[in-house]
Amino acid sequence: MSKMIFVNLPVADLDRAMGFYAALGFTNNPDFSDDTAACMVWSEAIYVMLLTHAKWRTFTQRPIPPATASEVMLAVTCNDREAVDAMNTVAVKNGGTADINPPQDHGFMYSRSLADLDGHVWEAFWMDPAAIPGAG
């Protein structure tokens, strides 16, 4: 079995969250989805499990952080700078918040952060490894 990551996120409104992630380019895997959870696929190795608050509490009794808090920032790669910008544009059109942190442009790497409907922080980034200072 190849290595995979399943990111579990509590969401207030499962249907709205599914729509938001679908708009960003995630696809739903119905085999692991029901009325309490939705498996949203970013790649063959990266899955986001959107869990209703009730479902979340079956895994942990730790409090769900408020939407204004940041426990983690989840970074995903994009094909180019334009795709980074597009992800932020789509996030805003679907109820998210773009540029919750200042955009970063290091020439060889470009990133912008966004928050989903529940305040979970994502960083879309593009990187050209050949252009990293000191590489090769």
130: phi then psi, degrees, rounded to nearest 5: -70, -20
Domains of the chain: 1-60 (3.10.180.10), 70-130 (3.10.180.10)
Amino acid at 38: A
Over the chain, what is the mean pLDDT? 93
Q: What is the DSSP track for 38-106? A: EEEESSSSEEEEEEEHHHHTTT--SPPPPTT--S-EEEEE-SSHHHHHHHHHHHHHTT-EE-SS--EE-
| Whether residue 21 has pLDDT greater than 90 | yes
| Whether residue 124 has pLDDT greater than 70 | yes
In this structure, of 27-31, 63-67, 83-87, the range with the lowest mean pLDDT score is: 63-67
pLDDT at position 136 is 58
pLDDT at position 68 is 87
- 83: confidence class by pLDDT, cuts 50, 70, 90: very high
| Whether residue 74 has pLDDT greater than 90 | yes
Average pLDDT for residues 3-11, to the nearest whole number? 93
| Whether residue 132 has pLDDT greater than 80 | no
Q: What pLDDT digit, counting tens, does each position of 84-105 carry?
A: 999 999 999 999 999 999 999 9
pLDDT at position 135 is 62
Query: What is d(CA 11, CA 38) in angstroms, rounded to the nearest whole number?
Result: 10
